[in-house]
Structures are given as C-alpha cells and as structure tokens.
Amino acid sequence: MTTAFISHPACQAHNMGANHPESPSRLQAIESHFADTGLLDELISITAQPVENSALLRAHPQSYLTQLQELSPDKGLVYADPDTALNRHSLKAAKLAAGAATQAVDLVANGQCQRVFCAVRPPGHHAERNQVMGFCLFNNIAIAALHALNTGVCERLAIVDFDVHQGNGTVDIFKDDPRVLFCSSFQFPFYPFRYQQLDRPNIINTPLTENTGSQLFRKSIEQQWLPALQNFKPQLVLISAGFDAHRDDPLAQLQLVDDDYRWITELIVSVANTYAGGKIVSMLEGGYNLSALARSSFQHVMTLNSGH
C-alpha cells in the first residue's frame, strides 16, 4: 500500500499564542510519534506547496481572500474571530495547508500513491465560504473536493468528518451540491451551533451526546453513514480527520479511545476500496491532547497504509 505524508515546517510558524490549543506542537507530536514507531519510514514524505489562487477561489470569494490579506499583521496577533488569530506567518501556513489538499488529490488521481495524509495546520472544516471560524482560515477539505470535481478527477465524492465538532464550513459550501455527500459525526449540542439540524439529502449529520463512548459511536456510524455511502458510491473519499473526540481531549466529552480511530478508518477504507479504487485523501482537523492526538493519528494513518 502506498501512502503519502504531506507536511511543511512553515505550518508550525502559525502561532495563535502560548495558551492556544491549536498549537505548533500538534504537528511536532504527530511527526515525532510517527518517526518513533517507524511509520514515517513506511510513508512517502512530500513537502507541501502553496495553493494556487484559482483553487482557493472555488471555495472562497475574492472578497474573503482580500479580507484575510488585509488582516494579516506585520507583527503580533490579529483576531479574525474570538478563537482564531493570525500572526505574520499564518497566511503562508494556510496556503500551504490548502496546497497540500490539492497536491494530495493530484497524487491519488495520477496513481502516484493510493492514499494521502496531510499533517498541516491551520485546520479547515469550520471555515465557511465567507467566514473565518474555529481556528480555520481556508476550508482545506472543500478546496480538495472542488479541485477534484473541477479538474475531472471524479464526478462525485464523499467527505467524511469524524472531528468532535461538526464541519459547518464544509456544509456551508456543499449543502446544495449533489456531487458531494458529506457525513459528519459530532458532539451535540456543541460548537459550532450551525447547520447541525440541516435537512439536505447529501448531508448526513450524526449528532452524539456527551459521554457517548465507543459502542454507540460505532453503531451510529454503521447505521447512518454506511447506507448513505453505499447508495452514493463515491469515486473518491476525503476525510476531515479530527481526533478531539478522544476521551483525553480537553475540548470535548465524547469519550472515544485510540482504537475507535482504527475502526472508523477501516470502515472508510472498505468503502473506498469498494467504490473509489481505494483512493483516500485525509486532512488533519482537530485534536488537542498531544499524546492522544499522536496515538490516534497513528492508528488512522497506519490503517490507511495497511488497509486493503
């Protein structure tokens, strides 16, 4: 199984302050654990390249890009929303994260590898078409999806999002696009408090109450995601891979464990193998306990790499 690992050191230069949970140490923890376990040696390591402006404009209007450019400071921090700040390196990091998304699609489309994990930041799934939210500047997974759909890689695709927070930005962008099936599990009621009860045929919301735990999580995914995915038959599968539903995470209370990330990745791999030639692109989203993030992302990527 050929799996690529895309990252860039400049993604660690984006820093929203000493006590912010979405910190540069998140990527350090993942890379260190992958190296220590030997997994990194099994992956094709690729350096992220900045996104093309045309790819950004498929997901966000020019006015939004201009607004972010104008917010970008020469020094210090500027807050785009109460949770999301920019330093002078943030836009470069965000363009690399979005660039990794389009690179990953091209890699699987060209047959250079079958699966890709993008260890990049800032994350993306809360960024709406015209709105910074929840640590996110550009919606990386949406940029990947629109790149695939608009360059002829596929005619329909699925985005699956197992972050503890619903991917409201992804819903905002695709809620009326029948080419995209979006499946999202999340703690409810909980941030971002938008689109969580939206009724659309291509949006599968799976709300979970706090303290759900592994058994109910797995049952809910099997009952709600699997039939939709099997009916939709995606030609490409994209993953918003958030690891903040883990029981050790400080921001949420779903109480998942390391093995749940192996399990859900196996389920996604099975769907991709059946309908999409095994092609998967996974983008890092949340996960704020460094040890749990490293272990859970290891389970995820190890399963991507071995899944068949």
Residue type, 28: Q
Which residue of the set 14, 33, 126, 165 is catalytic?
A: 126
What is the structure's pLDDT at 100?
98
User: What's the CA gap between 165 and 167, in Å, rounded?
Assistant: 6
What is the structure's pLDDT at 122?
98
User: What's the CA gap between 11 and 38, in Å, rounded?
Assistant: 23
- Over residues 95-132, the pLDDT tens digits come to 999 999 999 999 999 999 999 999 999 999 999 999 99
Q: With a cut of 80, say whether residue 1 has pLDDT above it.
A: no
Cα-atom radius of gyration of the chain, to the nearest Å? 17
Q: Which of 67-76, 167-176, 192-201 has the lowest mean pLDDT?
A: 192-201
Of the chain, the percentage scoring pLDDT greater than 90 comes to 98
Mean pLDDT of 232-243: 98
- Over residues 146-176, the pLDDT tens digits come to 999 999 999 999 999 999 999 999 999 999 9
What is the structure's pLDDT at 39?
98
User: What's the CA gap between 96 and 297, in Å, rounded?
Assistant: 20
Pairing outcome for strands 3-7 and 115-118: parallel
Q: What is the CATH number for 203?
A: 3.40.800.20
Q: With a cut of 70, say whether residue 5 has pLDDT above it.
A: yes
What is the structure's pLDDT at 307?
75
Per-residue pLDDT band at 179 (split at 50, 70, 90): very high
What is the structure's pLDDT at 81?
95
The answer to whether residues 104 and 279 touch, using CB atoms and an 8 Å cutoff, is: no
User: What's the CA gap between 93 and 200, in Å, rounded?
Assistant: 33
Over the chain, what HEC string results? CCEEEEECHHHHCCCCCCCCCCCCHHHHHHHHHHHHHCHHHHCEEEECCCCCHHHHHHHCCHHHHHHHHHHCCCCCCEEEECCEEECCCHHHHHHHHHHHHHHHHHHHHCCCCCEEEECCCCCCCCCECCECECCECCCHHHHHHHHHHHCCCCCCEEEEECCCCCCHHHHHHHCCCCCEEEEEEEECCCCCCCCCCCCCCCEEEEEECCCCHHHHHHHHHHHHHHHHHHHHCCCCEEEEECCCCECCCCCCCCCECHHHHHHHHHHHHHHHHHHCCCCEEEEECCCCCHHHHHHHHHHHHHHHHHCC
Does the annotation mark 60 as catalytic?
A: no
| pTM to 2 decimal places | 0.98
Q: Which domain holds residue 125?
A: 3-306
Mean pLDDT of the chain: 97
Ordered strands of the 157-161 beta sheet: 44-47, 3-7, 115-118, 280-284, 237-241, 157-161, 180-187, 203-208
- Over residues 33-55, the pLDDT tens digits come to 999 999 999 999 999 999 999 99
Longest dimension (CA), the chain: 50
Residue type, 199: D
How many domains are contained in the chain?
Answer: 1
